[in-house]
Structure 1
């Protein structure tokens, strides 16, 4: 019934009922139709950063807006109208501009928080100690997810504004066209900033993985150094242990019946000489 009363085209009604319609601007005979995507800005909500499509049908007599979930944008526009009603001419085109401008302004806090998070990660990724890096990869992953979400939300908006200014120039025109051009500039700037943040996050991720690789290499080198020392020590001590083990059995020991410690010190000297020979051999072959 509303479609017939307001003479809304069936294609427009189909787009409105389909929540995930792409962002676009379409010109019809008696109105122009805009799909502009906002998002849930409440960080405590279960649907935080989820897209929310706002549909507007702008006619010469008025404007109709549709959205599938609660959003503060319409309330903000009404408050703005009450504040500026004595200073500007309120028209359907101006209300449509105010609604688009409020949706665009909602991205400013998100972009600011992303900048702080990305700059923090970029500075900390190379200076944190190994014991302090346990949650760095998680922070990088969360920041990258937010950046990619912001890029997805902002990606098509500049094209929508370009199409609105171009295709509806004679209908919108005048001062409203200048305001829409200003919104387009803001959208392009935010999109460029988000693209820059994505590059910083990608670089921080690569630096983090490179630092982890370096630390693992250093740990492996220390382990190899310790194992080399233990191997050398074992190479020297094992032959001595074999010699002492042989004479520790129930067999005749040379010099047992001779008084004095000559044989004892002789055996000690022989084993020491064997150890020295083995050490010199290993050192000559650059094992130690």
Structure 2
């Protein structure tokens, strides 16, 4: 059963003839193709159909709602063909969300061409083969999508152009947070195909934006591809802003924190630098891709974007260049803060070593004075004759010996002090 989402073109040239082929596609619930198991795991519980995620989302400005389905076969309504679905003719009239509709009536705005958009999550190999055949996708395009090509690029073909653009996992609680997420956008004159292999909010954000601006813009396939690129670019904004706050905090605190408060600073610097380097890797050559796409707007290719989209793409390019420059600036600040932190730690360790050396020198001087005295008194503990031990009536010998030891200690301490003062002056 398909799902309809709120308020939401002619079919591609090769879509009319193989409609039966699309109808014969095994549903997602069947799970396997001839070459082996499907990319997606079997359901863990419940009915095999109801527990499957909605992997297909179909938007058309001729329809009043976005259709979400678990398989391609669920997209058309009862009695509706795929050719009618992509042309925006009839279907889904029995749904309350859709409102009244009659076959043959196009709900698009007057004078606005019918534009469709099919968003696909984790397509199987069999589905890719069928879509490639129906939409006449070049084998290189199919290979890039199936192999999850990570290089961002734009390629023009005979009847469409392909945009490979990378986003990232935006869920901070996900184990794959900030990992690259590849988005593949195939743009025809009549509509758009988009592919991705992990759930993402970009498609939903673009559909929400279309709903808000539908009365002010002409929704074309070029505009949909621009909106996807723009939403991916905007996703970097909050993260870069949070990194800016963290970098400013580190830069201010790295030199003023006390020793007891610096235990967490190195971890903060390392974590922030890891985020910055990850974002720089994600930003990569995005600006070059958008620049190349904007240049195509001025070429005489029938499938190239129209010139008015070039203005929007130039704005995205400016944002990307600014973000990249900011990230490079943050990396320099973090590198400087890291060096300052290590230098401060080195200074503190040097001060601690100097204090230890000072204490050890004092202990050495004290030991130099006391060890000879301990040696003399130690001899008295042996079975030897001590001078004056036979004098039991007075303490003359005892006082003399103690006075001699005290005089030796005073002389040794004074001599050691003069040596330490002289060494310090040098």
The bucket for the TM-score relative to the shorter chain is over 0.9
What does 1:42-57 align with in structure 2 at a 5 Å threshold? 42-57=171-186
User: Where in structure 1 do 4 or more consecutive aligned residues deviate above 6 Å?
Assistant: none
Identify the residue that residue 279 of structure 2 maps to in structure 1.
Answer: 150
List alignment gaps of at least 5 residues for structure 1.
none
Give me the TM-score of the superposition, normalised by structure 2: 0.65
The question of whether the paired residues in 2 share the 8 Å contact of 1:57 and 1:64 is answered with yes
Q: Does 1:283 align with 2:421?
A: no
Identify the residue that residue 193 of structure 1 maps to in structure 2.
Answer: 326
Which of 328, 337, 343 is the matching residue for 1:204?
337
The question of whether the paired residues in 1 share the 8 Å contact of 2:254 and 2:340 is answered with yes
Identify the residue that residue 245 of structure 1 maps to in structure 2.
Answer: 378
The question of whether the paired residues in 2 share the 8 Å contact of 1:27 and 1:168 is answered with no
Question: Shift of the alpha carbon at 1:257?
Answer: 4.0
Identify the residue that residue 11 of structure 2 maps to in structure 1.
Answer: none
Which segment drifts farther, 135-144 or 191-200?
135-144
* Residues in 2 aligned to 1:20 and 1:212: alpha-carbon distance in whole angstroms: 45
* Residues in 2 aligned to 1:55 and 1:123: alpha-carbon distance in whole angstroms: 42
Identify the residue that residue 236 of structure 2 maps to in structure 1.
Answer: 107
Partner SS, residue 285 of structure 1: helix
Which of 220, 223, 231 is the matching residue for 2:356?
223
Q: Deviations over 1:235-254 (max 9, x none)?
A: 10111112222233333322
* Residues in 2 aligned to 1:160 and 1:186: alpha-carbon distance in whole angstroms: 13
Q: Deviations over 1:185-236 (max 9, x none)?
A: 0000001111111111111111111111111111111111111111111110
Q: RMSD of aligned C-alpha atoms?
A: 1.6
* Residues in 2 aligned to 1:221 and 1:28: alpha-carbon distance in whole angstroms: 72
* Residues in 2 aligned to 1:210 and 1:44: alpha-carbon distance in whole angstroms: 35
Partner SS, residue 106 of structure 1: helix
Q: Deviations over 1:69-118 (max 9, x none)?
A: 11111111111111111111111111111111111111111101111111
Q: Does 1:13 align with 2:142?
A: yes
Identify the residue that residue 78 of structure 2 maps to in structure 1.
Answer: none
Identify the residue that residue 267 of structure 1 maps to in structure 2.
Answer: 401
The question of whether the paired residues in 2 share the 8 Å contact of 1:27 and 1:167 is answered with no
List alignment gaps of at least 5 residues for structure 2.
1-129
* Residues in 1 aligned to 2:374 and 2:214: alpha-carbon distance in whole angstroms: 101
Work out which structure has the larger RCO, using CA pairs closer than 8 Å and 6 or more positions apart in sequence: 1
Which of 186, 203, 219 is the matching residue for 1:74?
203
Q: Deviations over 1:247-276 (max 9, x none)?
A: 333333223344433322221221122222
The structure that is helix-richer by fraction is 1
The question of whether the paired residues in 1 share the 8 Å contact of 2:296 and 2:305 is answered with no
